[in-house]
Amino acid sequence: MKEINLLPGYLRPEERVLALASAQGEGFGVLACTNQRLIFLFVGLLRRQFLDTNWNEAKAIRYDQSTRTFAVYTAKPTKRAVPAMAVRVASLEDARVVAHAAQTASAAPRLDIV
């Protein structure tokens, strides 16, 4: 919950949050889809993790149900491609909501969602 309260401090002017989901990176935090980018924020006692990818750079989003990994790629996703951002999202429905918001925010024909 603290990450949600801290999220406004990480947003750019005129950036709106479209969807939120609980996610795990270096710790449990929040995955936020905005009209400009995808953000993951975790704030712990000793660590802080902030990941973001702008929609102008994103090429694809993939959710692997077996590993529950939500990944954003800035290049065409292949077996050897490394995601620009990868976090674990436990709920398939949360991943779908964020992916749908991402598709809406990123000019849909350009973003491949699998």
Tell me if the pTM is above 0.85: yes
- What is the pLDDT at residue 111? 58
pLDDT tens digits, 20-79: 999 999 999 999 999 999 999 999 889 999 999 998 888 888 999 999 999 999 988 888
If pLDDT is split at 50, 70 and 90, which confidence band does 113 have? low
pLDDT of residue 71: 93
CATH number for the domain running over 2-113: 2.30.29.30
Strand order from edge to edge, sheet including 48-54:
48-54, 37-43, 28-34, 17-24, 85-88, 69-73, 60-64, 112-113
Query: Which is more confidently placed, 81 or 108?
Result: 81
- Spatial CB neighbours of 93, under 8 Å, sequence gap ≥ 6: none
